[in-house]
Amino acid sequence: MTANHLPQKPDFAALEAAAPESADRRTTILSLIGGLVFNWSNNESLFIYVLMLLLKADQATAAIVFATLNTTRARLDLIQRLARIRITDKALSKELDRLIDRFNEGTHIRNELNHCMYTVDNTTGAILHTQSMRLVQTSSTLRFGEIKPMDEARIREMSDAVREMARINREIWDFMPRLEAHLQSGGRS
């Protein structure tokens, strides 16, 4: 594809005819994407409660503040900044930072899979690869997005990310009562 030509239109009839042949694999891939989005969204929403505790506010106030910040990065930055002035227990503070770091790692693959173009094989209907919607600039070229194969290694990476997001969810639930107790004690450990 050159800069002034559109890609070839997919043969939709061929894709629909071939779809049953690769249905199981496509279902696996789409299920993993759904699981990742589901777990990621639940985790992001739990940070509203962390914010509520740090602000010493009610849930509605925390949700308004959370929703007013229009990116996940801004929301987590606010949480981390508030934590620096409210959490005096170093271990608790480090635990929150680790949870946020792990969540951010999952955010990368979630963003990659939510903001890409999927290429499907016309003859089998299989998802072959993804192409990132980001520009990749090197010292000599400018390309449209990184292309990654949808191979077994990628499926394992996706499965691992779904499991990690589920673990993070449980750990945030375990963390919040300890944060609440710490903050209610006036920051005494």
pLDDT tens digits, one per residue of 140-174: 887 778 899 999 999 999 999 999 999 999 999 99
| Angstrom distance (rounded) from CA 50 to CA 179 | 8
Contact between 19 and 125 (Cβ < 8 Å) = yes
Count CB atoms within 10 A of the CB of residue 137: 9
| Vertex 153: Cα angle to 131 and 120 (nearest 5) | 40
| Angstrom distance (rounded) from CA 144 to CA 4 | 13
Top-confidence residue, 21 or 94: 94
Top-confidence residue, 14 or 39: 39
Looking at residue 189, what is its pLDDT? 53
Q: Is the predicted pLDDT of residue 10 greater than 60, yes or no?
A: yes
Count CB atoms within 10 A of the CB of residue 76: 21
pTM: 0.85
Q: Is the predicted pLDDT of residue 188 greater than 80, yes or no?
A: no
